Amino acid sequence: MRLAEKDILDIESLSVERIKNILDTAEGLKEISTRPIKKVPTLRGKTIIHFFYEPSTRTRTSFEIAAKRLSADTVSISASTSSIAKGETLVDTAKNLEAMNPDAIVIRHRAAGAPHMLARLVRASVINAGDGMHAHPSQALLDMMTVREKKGRLAGLKIAIIGDITHSRVARSNIVGFVKMGAEVILAGPPTMIPMGVETLGARVGYHVQEAIKDADVIMVLRIQKERQQALVFPSEREYAQCYGLTEEKLAGVKEDVLIMHPGPINRGVEIAPEVAEGPYSVILEQVTNGVAIRMALFYLLLGGAR
Ligand code: CP
């Protein structure tokens, strides 16, 4: 079955049924990555362009691996090695990419809304791989897949998201996604890193880490997004680590089957202690594994059959 939607731009645009459909498809496709020959011919003859205006390790690599495992032809462009460095606009770049007739364009851009604009300009399917502080839908989908795989459900779970919520597209997409799927989301972090009005997305604001993680089924820790901060919003990393960093000490008394997640990249010793990132509750690398399956599912559902 192919998705009715042309693009994957944010979680808001996906219904509960569509999210379940994507998670189910990813679960089915995950096994391909464990085979000795990790490739199926499903997307033979399809062309996918990966267009990254911002640095990325996990998202870019897993989109590229996902496309290759489905036998699509892939091309990668980055801002520094494309004609953007010579002053070409996103609109002109989009028109030129469209002229080469790709089937899908995966885009990461520092400006919120850039993938939405691209989607209006091209016939190809557009997948948002992260736009500014706005959305990172494939990250939220892989996070939901990881939690559902471990807990067997999403509805009724308590998800604590800790850290720099204001500057995090991952937080925004996860709040919308988990709330949509019936989970309770509680946020904690320095008040300067919690955006005003975030409750309208359906999350509760707790501020204190201990309060937020008490009884949580999932603790999601976020990096401080220094590259998006306009001004210093906390006194020092040492102080941040003391007050908001997830340490073994702060984990005393949490649920014994709690999951600890982080979208990466992690700053060891700041938002998460190394022994917690690598400890028994951590599913951080399983999130990365599921990232390939989710991105395979998105390509498969967008490009695989007759719309
Ligand atoms: N989670 C995430 O977006 O990581 P990258 O920036 O490495 O892609």
Q: Which tens digits make up the pLDDT trace of 176-202?
A: 999 999 999 999 999 989 999 999 999
Kindly report the pTM of this predicted structure. Answer: 0.95
Q: How many CB atoms lie within 10 A of CB 227?
A: 10
**Which residue's alpha carbon is at the smallest distance from atom 6 of ligand 1?**
56
CA distances from 165 to 51, 83, 195, 234 (A): 26, 33, 7, 13
- For residue 202, is it left (φ>0), alpha (ψ between -120 and 50) or beta? left
Residue percentage of the chain with pLDDT more than 90 = 87
Query: 263 CB under 6 A from ligand 1?
Result: yes
Nearest atom, ligand 1, residue 60 CA: 8
SS3 33: helix
Mean pLDDT of 42-54: 96
Longest dimension (CA), the chain: 58
Distance CA 93, CA 98 (A): 9
The whole-number pLDDT of residue 237 equals: 87
Is the per-residue pLDDT at 72 higher than 70?
A: yes
Is the per-residue pLDDT at 265 higher than 60?
A: yes
Query: 214 CB under 6 A from ligand 1?
Result: no
The whole-number pLDDT of residue 225 equals: 77
Asked if 115 and 233 count as a contact pair (C-beta separation under 8 A), the reply is no
Q: Which tens digits make up the pLDDT trace of 200-232?
A: 999 999 879 999 999 999 999 999 877 766 666
Q: Which tens digits make up the pLDDT trace of 89-122?
A: 999 999 999 999 999 999 999 999 999 999 999 9
The whole-number pLDDT of residue 207 equals: 75
Only one residue has tokens 């362009």, namely 49
**Which residue's alpha carbon is at the smallest distance from atom 4 of ligand 1?**
58
Query: 53, 56, 143, 294: which to mutate for ligand 1, most atoms within 8 A of CB?
Result: 56
Mean pLDDT of 161-183: 97
